Amino acid sequence: MTKSPGITLKGQHRVGDRVLFNADLNIAGGQWTCILGRSGVGKSTILRLILGLETGGTFSGSFVASDAMPLTGRISYMAQSDLLLPWLSVLNNVCIGAHLRGKVPDIKYARDLLHRVGLSGHADQKPATLSGGMRQRVALARTLFEDRAIVFLDEPFSALDAGTRAEMQELAADVLQDRTVLLVTHDPAEAARLAHQITVISAQATQNWPVPETTPLRGINAPETLLCQGKLLQYLRGGAA
Amino acid sequence: MRPGDILLALLIGLGIWQALVVVTDAPHFILPSPWRVALAAYKSRVIIIENAWVTATEVMLGLLIGTLFGVATAIQLAMSKTAERLMLPILVFTQAVPVFALAPLLTLWFGYGMGSKIMMAVLIIYFPVTSAFHDGLMRIDSGYRDLSVSMNAGKWKFMRHIQIPNALPSLGTGLRLAAVYAPIGAVIGEWVGASKGLGYLMLLANGRAKIDLMFASLIVLACLTVILHIAVGIIANRLTRYAQGTSINHTP
């Protein structure tokens, strides 16, 4: 893979007359950037904006990749809901991107990815037979199948139980290494473990939050993780005052 | 429905019928007894089977053609906003015209043969199939759309790989309705003008005061409809199980 580009976004997003957010965001290439903020502050809107999806508002400003190439077609996307297609096998769900582009899928590659997320034994099963955590692993494999330099994750682990979530964070940190990752989350612990950079967003401004000096992935109970997590939570509870 | 229950219900029905005949003491040309009807059915079995075959063919072809048209229309409506804007009002308007009122016209245009009856069945099921399937095509989690956009999917690929499979249970619902309506369409077509079919046979028997034969035809028609209903129900269930990905473990 060529070096993963960074993204700079600067501008204001409005929904009707209301300003949703003023953003000045610097997403470093090849690293994990976590966006934190309270519900309704427009965290997901930033992802949708850059992905070119419907946002229900208007954005005035710009977002560009650090290599000055267009961003379309270089970002893969994973949401909170696994969005698996119930009628397709796990393997075909991983390959769905190829089907949707009218290409012949690389089955061997898909099987390798399933192996990496620990689901090689489940390739021919239907999603209905899998647990929530396993389904999200399939979604992760599907995201990897797209093999894109930039990966947007929109609260992908928030519906999982705590133990499964920690496992998924470790798996994602491993398989998405060296890619530019933008993770939207409302969980300070998740940001403290995974982020190279943390951005806290509110209606007024975006704020770069100091991250621990150690490199991710940080241990669940490492002192620096807990300290960062605690401070973030305190800040978020107090609102953006 | 267990076979035992069906048999019991059948026996109760026959019992009530026989009781009505005995209690009201109605003459056999008003209300024939079950036994008389059975006898008439046996004596006229060749003519009944011939005509039932015609009606069954009309209904099946009507179902098939109507479903094809309905599915094609629904996809067209879902693919194009313009088509949806222009065609939905027309569709609703055509529904306001009672299809039965068109029967004489259809006979005029498509003749006394099977054609006009098939058309009748097609017209009567076209709207339920179209509207149920269209509904299913549009009722899709917006997350799938977002995912497809991020995967650079074309509109038609999205339709083929996600929207259509997702809408199969709704198509099943439309087909169930169609299975009830199609025989009505065919028989009304036969009443208006035909020389074959169970509807024709009923009119013929009525005209000659052979009420037992009329009852026999009616019962055969009901049986045909029930068989069709069950067969379409099985297909609809399969569509649903396929779309839910539960077709392997056989859940009822």
> pLDDT digit of tens for each residue in chain A (241 aa)?
458 999 999 988 888 888 888 888 889 999 999 999 888 888 888 999 999 898 888 898 889 999 988 888 899 999 989 999 999 999 999 999 999 999 999 999 999 999 988 999 999 999 999 999 999 999 999 999 999 999 999 999 988 888 889 999 999 999 998 999 999 998 999 999 999 999 998 877 788 899 998 989 898 889 999 999 999 998 888 754 4
Nearest Cβ partner of A83 from B147, B248, B249? B147
Residues 161-180 of B with CB under 8 A from A: 161-162, 165-166
Q: How far is CA B131 from CA A140, B140, B159, B240, in A?
A: 36, 15, 17, 17
- The dihedral through the CA atoms of A46, A47, A49, A53 has a sign that is negative
Which of B151, B159, B161, B247 to mutate to test binding with chain A, by most A CBs within 10 Å of its CB? B151
Contact status of A145 with chain B (Cβ, < 8 Å): no
CA angle (A165 as vertex; A161, A169 as ends), nearest 5: 175
Which of B140, B141, B147, B249 to mutate to test binding with chain A, by most A CBs within 10 Å of its CB? B147
Q: Where are the beta strands (DSSP E) in chain A?
A: 7-15, 18-27, 32-36, 58-65, 75-78, 150-154, 180-184, 197-201, 206-209
pLDDT of residue A239: 52
Across chain B, mean pLDDT equals 91
Nearest Cβ partner of A100 from B151, B242, B244? B151
pLDDT of residue A241: 42
What's the complex ipTM?
A: 0.87
DSSP reduced 3-state for B73: helix
Q: Which residue of A has its CA nearest to B240?
A: A87
pLDDT of residue B49: 95
- Counting residues of chain B whose pLDDT is more than 90, the rounded percentage is 77
Find where tokens 């309705």 sit. Answer: B177
pLDDT at B179 over 90: yes
pLDDT of residue B224: 94
Find where tokens 């009218």 sit. Answer: A102
* Mean of pLDDT values over B180-203: 92
Residues B33-69 have pLDDT tens digits of 999 999 999 999 999 999 999 999 999 999 999 999 9
pLDDT of residue B204: 93
pLDDT of residue B251: 41
Residue B28 pairs in a beta bridge with none
pLDDT of residue A55: 87
Interface A–B counts its CB contacts (< 8 A) at 71
Residues B131-164 have pLDDT tens digits of 999 999 999 999 999 999 999 999 999 999 999 9
pLDDT at B248 over 80: no
Residues 30-69 of A with CB under 8 A from B: 48, 51-53
Would you state the torsion angle of the CA atoms of residues A228, A231, A236, A240, taken in this order, to the nearest 10 degrees? Answer: -110
Q: Which residue of B has its CA nearest to A82?
A: B143
Nearest Cβ partner of A101 from B149, B153, B162? B153
**How far is the C-alpha of B125 from the C-alpha of B182, rounded, in Å?**
6
Q: Are A11 and A23 in contact (CB under 8 A)?
A: yes
pLDDT of residue B252: 37
Nearest Cβ partner of A102 from B147, B157, B166? B157
pLDDT of residue A195: 93
pLDDT of residue B12: 94
pLDDT of residue B26: 87
Beta-carbon contacts of residue B72 (< 8 Å; ≥ 6 apart): none
Residues B83-100 have pLDDT tens digits of 888 888 888 887 788 888
Strands A197-201 and A206-209: antiparallel
Q: What is the pTM of this model?
A: 0.87
pLDDT of residue B71: 97
Q: Are A218 and A196 in contact (CB under 8 A)?
A: no
Joined tokens for residue B185 = 């369409």
